[in-house]
Amino acid sequence: MTENPSPCPSPSPKQKRTARKAAKPVFDPRIVVFACNWCSYAGADTAGVMRIQHQPHFRMIRVMCSGRIQPAFVLRAFEKGADGVLVSGCHFGDCNYIFGNERAVEQFDKTMGVVKLLGIEEGRLRLEWISAAEGARFAEVIDEFTDQVRAIGPSPFATSDAIEEIEVPETETETERN
């Protein structure tokens, strides 16, 4: 039998809080990051090369342009178990496809409207601009977003743990369009 170091026979309020915190499991949010190939994905790579520490609770999906992210992709991520979704692209004026990030803003606004209609908390979806040289910024955004989603809690809309199965369909090529 262990002895209580306190002269009181019952645990102190501080001891009770400590015991509750120890008993409560830590929630590690599952985050999906849709990252532009030319800037944000390269920014994540820069963070890795620089060995910048950041939260590991995300799955990155590389897309050719952030403007390609449709509401269906984000909703599919939530359906497959994501607690949060981050869409990340090039800064304005730096887009490899000239106006891709402007299209990303339009698509994001549409997506946010659908997310609100479904009752998903706005804090679970975020849009950020990160360049290839901003490895530290990438890590900072991941850490902030992870903490934000952790504070909200697990997604009530997650129906499975199949987050690894999320794929982005290929786009048609120029020859297929003509």
Domain boundaries, the chain: 27-155
Q: Which of 69, 93, 76, 34 is nearest to 171 (CA)?
A: 69
Using pLDDT thresholds of 50, 70 and 90, give the confidence band for residue 156: confident
Rounded to whole angstroms, how far apart are CA atoms 27 and 175? 47
Q: Which residues pair with 128 in a beta bridge?
A: 88
- List pLDDT tens digits, range 35-53: 999 999 999 999 999 999 9
Q: What percent of the chain has pLDDT over 90?
A: 71
- List pLDDT tens digits, range 17-38: 666 556 567 889 999 999 999 9
Supply the CATH classification number for the domain 27-155.
3.40.50
SS3 87: strand
**Tokens representing residue 26 in the block:** 């830590």
Q: Across residues 75-89, what is the average pLDDT?
A: 96
**Tokens representing residue 6 in the block:** 């306190």
- pLDDT number for residue 10: 72
Rounded to whole angstroms, how far apart are CA atoms 167 and 151? 27
Pairing of strands 84-89, 58-63: unpaired
Tell me the C-alpha to C-alpha distance, in Å, between residue 56 and each of 3, 151, 153, 165, 174. Answer: 39, 16, 17, 18, 37
- Does the pLDDT at position 130 exceed 70? yes
Predicted TM-score (pTM) of the model is: 0.77
